[in-house]
Structure 1
Amino acid sequence: MIRKSAMLLHALRSADYMEKEEWSATEMGCRLNMSVQTVHRLLSSLEEYGFVAKNPETKKFRLGLSLLKLGMSIKENSSIRNSAILAMEKLMSQTKEKVYLTVPEGNEGVFIDCVQPGFTALDEYIGVRSPLSLGAANKVMLAHESRENRQKIMQNLYKKGEIIDLKQLEKNINIIAKCGVSICFEEIKEGNTEIAAPIFSWDNRVAASISVISPSSRLDEQEIYMTIQYVQDAAEEASRNLGWRAKEYKVYSI
């Protein structure tokens, strides 16, 4: 089923280059040697998610805007990574710990990259999704969303059971928003401390977060303070590379 859906999308894409913008289910069936019933069923499913669009007058199909949005998302994530990678490597050198890049997607955060000391296998967290209410990397992005988006996300997560104490989370998020940095103990992995700061794009929108995850046993009060400084400097450097106009960060009080 997935293979046939992919064939349909590729066929519609190549159709654009044949100066024929819209195709009927019958035409696509003949072109791909599929039954009209199968093609129509697949196109209806793809239409439901916006991958194809149906002309209400001609009843014919063309590629939908959801594909464009996915492509723009991939391009944006690539741009974010390119803007952050040098800052991440510098932060790793300063802390001697793993450094992560996380981006927001809806109500979740996604780990998209990691730099780490030495030559090791692909990190286990890459590609992992978690609610924006969990972990420093996610919470710092949630805290720097607009007030309207922040409330909407928290309400959605609360309804899904991802948040137990909504008032306590709101209090924590407000503190993070004022400080510009988030610290979480053992939320991502037992025995680890995560410190994160937001990365902003040129339009002052939170685009990602940069974080360090360290074994808690390695961090005393002074180490935490220094790591905060390093993480904030790295986030600011990555933000500037995205065209953000630098501003002064507040330092988390210990």
Structure 2
Amino acid sequence: MIKKCTTLLTAIIPDEEKEEWSATEVSQKLEIPIQTVHRLLSSLTECGFVYKNNETKKFRLGLNLIQLGLSVRDNLLVHKGALPIMKNLTKKTEQSVYLTVPEGNEGVLIDFVSADPLYKISEPIGRRTPLCTGASKKVMLAYMKLKTRKQILQSLMNIGQVSNLNKLEYELKNIKKSGIAISSDETAKGIIKIAAPIFSSEYKVVASICLASSNRKYLEHKKMFISEVKSAAKEISEELGCIESHSVH
């Protein structure tokens, strides 16, 4: 079923000559029975992956596919644009730097730059943790659209990840006000993490950059660390086409 759907979606990708296809045309192109094509098109239309033009009775790719494509594009662009800036941040601060992206109710660690080449990361690449935990995830949750944030919080409450909603919402409000999230002992005792949000050209939060420091280093260089993390997040956002980073407000 999934294979047939992906084959069908590939078959109706627009080109210079054609933007819409009838069910008969799809059936002939893929050599699939017309009844099967109608069933697949109906299901894909319900999901928003295919759009039916009621005037022509023809089909084209739907907006949901475009949104999925933009999400993948954003993640790829984030990683490519962020890496040199992460390296520069590590060089300036002599601290390790992490890059996290949101996916569903979770944050996914997709890369890090270590201040010490011999240092072994305690968080493996690909690690998933709830968006309600730690600076790197909370800062993304704080900047999500209200409707999206409420849906995520409700979902996290339903699975027992949020015990005090009012406290968390108050914390998220303060994070958005300051443009930064700070957490301690998140992954290791005595480690402070400072995170700022990264935005796409659509002003959507697509990632966070996070600096990890010891308590001692943090107390010594707090202002500089916060300033450099904010600056790095703003620079990456600008690389992604965000003219005015929300993190500065």
TM-score range, shorter chain: 0.7 to 0.9
SS at match of 1:13: coil
**Offset at residue 134 of structure 1 (A):** 1.9
Aligned equivalents of 1:17 and 1:202: distance in 2?
27
1:179 aligns with 2:178: yes
1:135-169 C-alpha deviation (Å, 9 max, x unpaired): 21121122234566545543443345331111221
Identify unmatched segments of 5+ residues in structure 2.
none
CA contact (8 A) 1:202 1:245 kept: no
Equivalent residue, structure 2, for 1:198: 197
Aligned equivalents of 1:193 and 1:41: distance in 2?
54
Instruction: Note the 1:223-238 alignment, pairs <5 A.
Output: 227-238=225-236
Equivalent residue, structure 2, for 1:63: 61
Cα distance change, pair 8–116 in 1 and its aligned pair in 2 (3 A): farther
1:7 aligns with 2:1: no
**Offset at residue 179 of structure 1 (A):** 3.0
**Offset at residue 18 of structure 1 (A):** 4.8
Aligned equivalents of 1:2 and 1:98: distance in 2?
41
SS at match of 1:139: helix
Code of the aligned partner of 1:35: P
Cα RMSD (Å): 3.8
Cα distance change, pair 110–50 in 1 and its aligned pair in 2 (3 A): farther
Aligned equivalents of 1:203 and 1:70: distance in 2?
14
Instruction: Note the 1:232-251 alignment, pairs <5 A.
Output: 232-241=230-239, 242-245=241-244
Code of the aligned partner of 1:2: I
Aligned equivalents of 2:139 and 2:133: distance in 1?
10
Deviates more, 1:136-145 or 1:52-61: 52-61
CA contact (8 A) 1:200 1:244 kept: no
CA contact (8 A) 1:23 1:62 kept: no
Match of 1:93 among 86, 91, 94: 91
Instruction: Note the 1:31-42 alignment, pairs <5 A.
Output: 31-42=29-40
TM-score (norm 2): 0.74
TM-score (norm 1): 0.73
SS at match of 1:236: helix
Cα distance change, pair 133–56 in 1 and its aligned pair in 2 (3 A): same
Equivalent residue, structure 1, for 2:162: 163
**Offset at residue 79 of structure 1 (A):** 3.8
SS at match of 1:34: coil
Instruction: Note the 1:71-110 alignment, pairs <5 A.
Output: 71-105=69-103, 107-110=105-108
Identify unmatched segments of 5+ residues in structure 1.
none
Figure out how many residues of one structure are paired with residues of the other and give that number: 245
1:48 aligns with 2:83: no
Code of the aligned partner of 1:111: L
Cα distance change, pair 42–219 in 1 and its aligned pair in 2 (3 A): farther
1:100-120 C-alpha deviation (Å, 9 max, x unpaired): 223345544343443345499
**Offset at residue 58 of structure 1 (A):** 5.5
Aligned equivalents of 2:223 and 2:153: distance in 1?
29
Cα distance change, pair 120–194 in 1 and its aligned pair in 2 (3 A): closer
Aligned equivalents of 1:204 and 1:31: distance in 2?
40
